[in-house]
Amino acid sequence: MKKKQRSELILKVLEEIYPQVPIPLKHKNNYELLIAVLLSAQCTDERVNKVTPELFSRASTPYKMQDISLEDIYNIIRPCGLAPKKSKAILGLSNILVEKFKGNVPESFDELEKLPGVGHKTASVVMSQGFGHPAFPVDTHIHRLAQRWGLTNGKNVTQTEKDLKKIFPRELWNRLHLQIIFYGREFCKARSCFGLICEICTACYPKRKMPIKTQKS
């Protein structure tokens, strides 16, 4: 099966399983989304969603976040891991948003990626889920599945993003990246399937017999 055929099959299966694609991280505005995505680094969305209600009840805007001490932010977000680094980033980017952007989250990849603790993936999520701009944030699930499905060589997440953007129509990126994440969490997990069991892997490669070893990043 050629790559084009595989991509069409993948789209069909994902659309059948996930006709609705809710945004996993709970938020009420783009600032809350930005903070939630920052907290999700090396942490599950489920845990982030348990932590953010307390944080956002005290600070749902960068102005309010400035009124909270670094220690308080640290104590609230500690269950998410990397709390020393993340708490400093949250306070630092909040100060910048107030000073430079009048409290607004910038609608720009360049400006987002200049903020403390915000890398390309975080910026992509905010631009996609917050502002609705076409983007293809690649997390560990997408990176793993793209390799198992023969859509990328898995050299790194940057290459995976480029490859997926070439394969799939731009207008599908925002929806598709969430569908792949949901599928990876449910059917094609890191410690199972290995390219041999789930519906998409077996359909794409029916004769595959050896497990696929994927590059992590």
> Phi and psi for 134 in degrees, rounded to 5?
-60, 125
- What mean pLDDT is reported for the chain? 97
Tell me, yes or no, if 121 is annotated catalytic: yes
Q: What is the structure's pLDDT at 155?
A: 87
Q: Determine the CATH number of domain 3-20+136-204.
A: 1.10.1670.10
Model pLDDT for residues 103-129, shown as the tens digit of each residue? 999 999 999 999 999 999 999 999 999
Which CATH fold would you assign to the domain 30-130?
Endonuclease III; domain 1 (1.10.340)
pLDDT at 211 over 80: yes
Average pLDDT over residues 78-102: 98
Q: Is position 102 annotated as part of the catalytic site?
A: no
Q: What is the pLDDT of residues 11-34, one digit of tens each?
A: 999 999 999 999 999 999 999 999
% of the chain with per-residue pLDDT over 70: 100
Q: Return the domain boundaries, the chain.
A: 3-20+136-204, 30-130
pTM attached to this predicted model:
0.94
- Of these residues, 26, 72, 139, 165, which one is catalytic? 139
30-130 has the same fold as 3-20+136-204: no
